[in-house]
Structure 1
Amino acid sequence: MDAKTKEAALANNARQFRKGIVPDEVRECYDNYAGRYDKDLNPESYLGPKMAAEALTSYVERSGWSKGKIRVLDVGAGTGFVAIQLANRGFKRMDALDPSEGMLEKAKTRGVYENFIQEFLTPDPTPGIANDTYDAVVSSGGMGEGHIPCGALREMVRVVKPGGLVVIAMREEYLRCTSGYENLEPTMAAMENEELWERLERSVLPGYCYHKDGLVYVFRKK
């Protein structure tokens, strides 16, 4: 399958996660997709995990933290692309959160996660995760149609320790073409005004996925 065909297939998958799709359907779509996910979204065509890992690594090193000791939650972990990139950079304590059992079963084979949490990230507290649990939350590809809602940004803040980091990598075009995401950056700004977090970075990065531009956001919890 050439790059153009793969891009069309991925766009079709995204359309399945339309506004109003119920969680069970999202989970089933990804369960069914898990077997070919790694082939379709390989490191040569999907640079988002590398971009997210590089951003988190940069700010962790600036903070003087030990990469081998801090706890990281990978939101929308999929089959573990982000964690592989982080493990290669010296991170050791990572948990995976994803609603798809099929995706998490693939992620378990990576040998890079400590814990697996099969849940959606929503505005409600995630079962089993206490306040201020993680030093950092990272997500690559978790933002999209029918995926993480804008309101779930507050849940990312809840589970991170004060002074901890939130790193989000996503397609830039989703701000314009994904239902509800016209409110994403206004929600981020409102959370800054409420002094829940401060924005450290907003970068547009070319080649995020199949030559589409990406966005990387980095926030620090107040």
Structure 2
Amino acid sequence: MTAQTERKPIDHHLEKVYGATTSEALSAAYLGWAKDYDTDVSSMGYRFPILGAAILARHLLKNDATILDAGAGTGLIGGWLHDLGYTHLTALDLSPEMLHQARSRGVYGQLEAGDMLKRLPFPDNSFEAVIAVGVFTQGHVPPQGLEELLRVSRSEAIVVIPLMKNSWEQLGFKEKAMELEKSGIWQRIDQTPWCPPMPNSSDHKHDLGAVFAWCVQ
């Protein structure tokens, strides 16, 4: 009899958020996860926050640039960006409970609740950089959500988005990204190799992901 790998609590949470079919269901899933989120993602060796921050820092040399942390969650990315010296951070998230955790970090000048499939609470051309970690994936925001992020991005803004390989290839993100490139909306300036961003997850340790960066034209 083959021994089965024991599932961790985080795998049950991931199952809920990846399985969400509406914004309301997704927000409810994060309501039950917000307090334990940081501990759980740390336990699975989640690499996207630090990799995303590093790629943004490679291309954004202006420390006082206005940065939107889209899908900020508990503020993991904001914490890394603050440590790197960035001083004008804005957090956006669908979940008020996750934003409450993000607020406690004290690194964001502004925190807003919002749905990327609706109009965001920011004027056009507001930000010099946008980073969206864990956002454009199964059960979360489809490729159409890129349009709102581009609306609030300035010309020459850096947009950093980590993507799982299955999202890139099967959920329409590759096609949408290439469409925006061909239309002259943005230009891809960086991509990491594909690697496992959740190496300690019993259910997802073999899944591959990469961090992409574009410059808005």
The letter for the 2-side match of 1:42 is S
Q: 1:14 to 1:121 in 2, by over 3 A?
A: same
Looking at structure 2, the residues matched to 175 and 189 of structure 1 have their Cα atoms a distance apart, in angstroms, of 11
Q: How many residues align?
A: 207
Residue pair 2:13, 2:33 contacting (<8 A) in 1 also? no
Aligned to 1:81: 76
* Distance in 2 separating the partners of 1:176 and 1:160: 25
Distance, in Å, in 1 between the alignment partners of 2:163 and 2:6 is 19
How much has 1:207 moved relative to structure 2?
3.4
**Structure 2: gaps spanning 5 or more residues:** 200-204
Contact 1:171–1:209 under 8 Å retained in 2: no
Tell me the equivalent position of 2:202.
none
Matched, 1:161 2:168: no
Deviations 1:71-91 (A, max 9, x none): 100011000010111111111
Q: Deviations over 1:178-199 (max 9, x none)?
A: xxx1x11111111111111111
Instruction: Find the counterpart in structure 1 of residue 134 from structure 2.
Output: 141
- Contact 2:17–2:29 (Cα < 8 Å) also in 1: no
TM-score, structure 1 length as denominator? Answer: 0.86
What is the CA–CA distance in structure 1 between the aligned matches of 2:26 and 2:76, rounded to whole Å? 20
Residues 3 and 95 of structure 1, relative CA distance in 2, 3 Å threshold: farther
2:173, 2:184 → 1: CA distance? Answer: 17
Secondary structure at the aligned position of 1:112 is classed as coil
| 1:170 Cα offset (Å) | 2.5
**Shift, 1:120, TM fit:** 1.3
C-alpha displacement at 1:15, in angstroms?
Answer: 4.1
- Match 2:177 to one of 184, 188, 195: 188
Output the CA distance in 2 between the equivalents of 1:6 and 1:215. 25
Computed over aligned residues only, the root mean square deviation of the Cα atoms, in angstroms, reads 2.0
- Output aligned runs, 1:1-222, within 5 Å: 5-6=8-9, 8-17=11-20, 21-42=21-42, 45-61=45-61, 66-67=62-63, 69-122=64-117, 124-126=118-120, 128-176=121-169, 181=171, 183-210=172-199, 211=205, 212-222=207-217
Cα distance between partner residues in 1 of 2:15 and 2:139 = 13
Distance 1:14 1:27, change over 3 A: closer
- 8 A contact 2:18–2:139 mirrored in 1: no
In the alignment, residue 46 of structure 1 is paired with which amino acid? Y
Q: What SS does the corresponding residue of 2:141 show, helix, strand or coil?
A: coil
Q: What per-residue deviation string (whole Å, max 9, x for no partner) do you get for residues 134-187 of structure 1? A: 00000111122231110111211111110111000132233356xxx1x11111
Alpha-carbon separation, structure 2, partners of 1:10 and 1:51: 22
TM-score for the superposition, normalised by structure 2: 0.88
Q: Matched residues, percent identical?
A: 23
Distance 1:43 1:129, change over 3 A: farther
What is the rounded CA distance, in whole Å, between the counterparts of 2:215 and 2:177 in structure 1?
12
Judge conservation of contact 1:172–1:204 (CA < 8 Å) in 2. no
Judged with a 3 Å threshold, the aligned counterparts in structure 2 of structure 1 residues 32 and 219 are, in CA distance, closer, same or farther, namely: same
Letter in 2 for 1:28: A
